[in-house]
Structure 1
Amino acid sequence: MIPAHTRRLATLRRALGLLSDFRFEQTRPDIFYGNLAQDTATLIDAISHDITGHSLAGKVVVDVGGGPGYFASAFRARKAQYFSVEPDVGEMAAAGIKVRGSVRGSGLDLPLLDNSCDIIYSSNVAEHLADPWRMGDEMLRVTKPGGIAILSYTIWLGPFGGHETGIWQHYVGGEFALKRYLRKHGHLPKNVFGQSLFDVSCAAGLNWAKQATDAQLVLAFPRYHPTWAWFLVRVPVLREFLVSNLVLVLRKGE
């Protein structure tokens, strides 16, 4: 498969724009998540075109870890039937956005029937789970035969692996980064290492995807990189530091 639509999106300008938005994650979530939602819907629409030959229109799309609802309008603008699953009721209500079809539930045990959605995706959730591949298996379970599961997550050894605890501190260690943040700010970060933030590697995700039952890994690329840098996913060790965010696209067997 030549992912022409997906590759066309992967420009340096887009990459720089998305990366620059990270500074707003805590202070202006409407900017950060609003822009990320538009990019996510555009990206998944491109992936759907490349793999199935069809747009998102009419497709049942499930967002695992949908948060406060910034993504709903972006997908519905593309005429998708959008549903979200979020375990934290506080996150669901954080922005005051009401989303029809928003379900409270865990990605580790999705409250959905087998083979019930055309496309399921999770963005920046796996690194917050002690067992992210259990969530990946659940995503595949609820995907229809021939459907697509997309798992995108932040690599621990990348520059954003420590999230708000710093861009270098986590290289010393997760506990060090956590304690340094606590000393500096006087309170715990939103993402606490060992509880809600874990050292998920690029290699672990690729290994899970390649060994997935009844599904084929059809595409793996760094989300925030231009096309010419996609080769980094294939380079052991280097990918752990430079990929930043890995996108795994699997298609379930028919």
Structure 2
Amino acid sequence: MDSQPNLGPMAATDLFARRATLARSLRLLTEFRYERSQPARFYGALAADTVAMVGDLWQAIRGEPATGRTLLDVGGGPGYFAKAFTDAGLRYIGVEPDPSEVHGAATAFADAACAFVRASGMALPFADHSVDICLSSNVAEHVPRPWQLGAEMLRVTRPGGLVVLSYTVWLGPFGGHEMGLSHYLGGARAAARYTRRHGRPAKNNYGSSLFAVSAAEGLDWAASTGAMVTAFPRYHPRWAWWLTSVPLLREFLVSNLVLVLQPGSPADTT
């Protein structure tokens, strides 16, 4: 693949910005209510929206559809994203450390044009520059070294390709995940409070499977790589994207931050 020059923030997000309407934001927020009771409904809607986002970003950066490209999904889970991306014509590879998730996805999509690998996102078992697109959706806040994960994503992506790293900002309203707004009391206190109320630790337990990751940390890391294209709030309408540029305010109101990077040369992955 020939290297492509990094585009400006507006050029890279112009296509997706047209989809980023208030109606879309409200629709996704409504679907979130079904995450536990009807996971197929929620994750199916999120997967379809993610395919549209990645497709628009690739089209803007490369000037062509993403069809036929190889996408590596770090933390792909049980297969909802696999179906959505293969239906869109991409070659899908899912990476997931949970063996039950990998087994379930591999069984459900055995005949599809996709593959599943059990591995950690912080040590991807793939060669340098081996995929066209590397995606991580809402995983960085669940690993102790999120920017090592980001560096691995850059390493395995071909020059001129696309890296999309999206994560939940700790001080945003959803930073505590199922612990709710109690995370504003502090992560350890929120975890203890959840255990007292429910008689068991939260699935996303602070300090072991949930960590405090700020918007500023992600933006600083992305800028340090030399491969950053743009960043924006994943679920906000386009007219609210300015929040990303305001320190402190973005920590509370961005909620979920998307970092878009395009490796321009092997040096960008170091």
* TM-score interval (norm. to shorter): over 0.9
Give the C-alpha shift of residue 91 in structure 1: 2.2
**Contact kept? 2:77, 2:96, Cα under 8 Å:** yes
- Correspondence 1:57 to 2:70: no
Q: Does 1:248 align with 2:259?
A: yes
Q: Does 1:108 align with 2:119?
A: no
Q: What amino acid maps onto 1:10 in structure 2? A: A
**1:253 maps to amino acid:** G
The letter of the residue matching 1:73 is K
CA contact (8 A) 2:102 2:117 kept: no
Write the deviation string for residues 144-175 of structure 1: whole angstroms up to 9, x where unpaired: 01111110000000000000011x20011111
Contact 1:233 1:243 in 2 (8 A): yes
Q: Which runs of 4+ in 1 moved over 3 A?
A: 93-96
* Cα displacement (A) at 1:98: 3.1
Aligned residues of 1:152 and 1:246 also touching (Cα < 8 A) = yes
Compare the two structures and name the one with the higher helix fraction. 2
C-alpha distance in structure 1 between counterparts of 2:151 and 2:51, whole Å = 22
Unaligned runs of 5+ in 2: 1-7, 266-270
In the alignment, the residues of structure 1 paired with residue 102 and residue 31 of structure 2 have an alpha-carbon distance, to the nearest angstrom, of 21
* Percentage of pairs with the same residue: 54
CA distance in 1, matches of 2:224, 2:57: 21
Deviation at 1:54, TM superposition (A): 1.4
> Could you list the runs of 5+ residues in structure 1 that have no partner in the other structure?
none
Report the TM-score, using the length of structure 2 for normalisation.
0.90
In the alignment, which of 97, 121, 143 is matched to residue 108 of structure 2? 97
> Over aligned residue pairs, what C-alpha RMSD do you find?
1.3
1:189 equivalent in alignment to 2:199: no
Q: Is the 8 A contact 1:110 1:138 kept in 2?
A: yes
Superposition deviation, residue 94 in structure 1: 5.1
Match in the other structure for 1:121: 135
Higher relative contact order at CA 8 Å, sep ≥6: structure 1 or structure 2?
2
Q: Is the CA contact 1:115–1:141 (under 8 Å) kept in the aligned structure 2?
A: yes
State the shift of 1:23 in Å.
2.3
Q: Name the SS of the counterpart of 1:57 in structure 2.
A: coil
For 2:45 and 2:82, the matched residues in 1 are separated by: 13
Instruction: Please tell me whether residue 202 in structure 1 is matched to residue 212 in structure 2.
Output: no
TM-score, with normalisation over the residues of structure 1? 0.95
Query: Which whole-Å CA distance do the structure 2 matches of 1:25 and 1:204 have between them?
Result: 28
Distance 2:200 2:132 in 1: 42
